[in-house]
Structure 1
Amino acid sequence: MKLLLNIDVDELSSAEAFYVAAFGLQPARRFGEAVVEMLGAEAPIYLLLKAAGSTGAGAKPRNYDRHWTPLHCDVVVDDLDAALARAVAAGAVQEGAIREADWGRIVTIADPFGHGWCLLQFRGRGYDEITT
């Protein structure tokens, strides 16, 4: 199985700039004026230009205010503080404090298009620290 991630955005050039600045992704290919492929993660990320108010899944209009979805992306980083500073400088909004866990550290952010992301820094064996 091959995983591709698609992220709806209402402005393609600012989305491309955000994902380059926040996560170090790089644009690879363009598919017309409405899609850019971003590489640098374990799966390709496609930014899809979709106007606010256009029909999304389930016939609901797209809304780029902060929203919740049952699916979100985790970005595993070596230095959580540096990654958070980079994402915020690029336009992300930190949502709550950095939290400590047996497996590492986590903080949630929202990108400028309303999507939620988690930044994770594993310690030791990562999630294996909490397996039995």
Structure 2
Amino acid sequence: MKKEILTVNVKLTKFDEVKGQSGEALMIHFDGDATGEYFNGIILPGGVDTQKEIKGSARALSARYILEGKDFKGNACKIFVENNGSFDENGNIVTHPTILTDSVDLAFFETADITGTISDIPGGVQIHLWMEDSEEL
């Protein structure tokens, strides 16, 4: 059974877009915070979601950001997230994050099979990261 391990509240701050002859690219800058059973903290400056669509292909996205806060044992730490995703046939975004962390107690995030879903919130989106219960600690 999957359980949510982290909720990232993303506040969109700036949009940069290029529309070319063969496709388009959009960079969405953001900040925000993250909460969960294992970690609580903020998104450090520099978070960006890059969306690219080449004509004839599906739109793809890749968000990269660093979270800074405390792990579930109260230790200061950082988490790097590279969240790659695409739109499914129903228009929903499905993501597959890669995570790196300097927290020894959250090291299992680096090898767990984590998936993500996205929901809209006022002024941004909420990213929900999920993993199987059996993969924790």
- Bin the TM-score by the shorter chain: under 0.3
TM-score between the two structures when normalised by the length of structure 1: 0.25
- TM-score, L = length of structure 2: 0.25
Q: Which of the two has greater helix per residue? A: 1
Higher strand share: 2
